[in-house]
């Protein structure tokens, strides 16, 4: 599958990210996934997701979800040398589902705004079992318009 605007981009295939992305795949969404450790994407590919080798490949997506382990990781995947928001084009919406510091989230929002991308801070409450069951709780901040679009991304 070619990665395009209708593909949901996903960064982070740890326990939580993998469970969340898998639900999207199982519900018929085209999902392209990047993870630093490429082999962690294999189970998602087996379910129908597309693996990408670089974050840059996700810049073609209209919406990209991020679920990484730390504030430093969030800023690296967005603003590092090969970061999502350093590419020629940027997604319209970045949804960060990581649990990060207020400062890192504010910096990520600022970086997205500089690229004319909406940013939704959307940390989740629950664990991988709750995610697999589709019962996570999201605490989302950002524009209502971007929230509505992100919410309507999945079937």
What is the crossing angle of helices 102-114 and 71-79, to 10°? 10
Asked whether 19 and 36 are in contact (CB, 8 A), the reply is: no
Q: Are 16 and 124 in contact (CB under 8 A)?
A: yes
Contact of 153 with 63, CB cutoff 8 Å: yes
Tell me the pTM. Answer: 0.95
- For the stretch 50-75, pLDDT in tens is 999 999 999 999 999 999 999 999 99
Tens-place pLDDT, residues 88-123: 999 999 999 999 999 999 999 999 999 999 999 999
Q: What is the DSSP string of 55-102?
A: GGGGGGSSEEEE--SSHHHHHHHHHSTT-GGGSSS--SEEEE-S---H
């Amino acid at each position: 599958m070619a990665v395009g605007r209708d593909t949901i981009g996903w960064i982070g295939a740890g326990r939580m990210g993998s469970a969340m992305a898998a639900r999207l795949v199982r519900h018929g969404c085209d999902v392209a996934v990047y993870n630093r450790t490429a082999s962690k994407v294999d189970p998602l590919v087996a379910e129908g997701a597309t693996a990408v080798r670089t974050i840059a490949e996700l810049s073609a997506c209209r919406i990209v979800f991020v679920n990484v382990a730390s504030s430093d990781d969030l800023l690296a995947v967005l603003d590092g040398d090969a970061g999502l928001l350093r590419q020629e084009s940027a997604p319209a919406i970045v949804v960060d589902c990581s649990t990060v510091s207020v400062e890192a989230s504010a910096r990520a929002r600022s970086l997205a705004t500089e690229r004319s991308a909406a940013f939704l801070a959307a940390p989740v409450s629950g664990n991988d079992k709750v995610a697999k069951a589709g019962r996570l709780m999201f605490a989302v901040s950002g524009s209502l318009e971007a929230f509505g679009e992100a919410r309507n991304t999945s079937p």
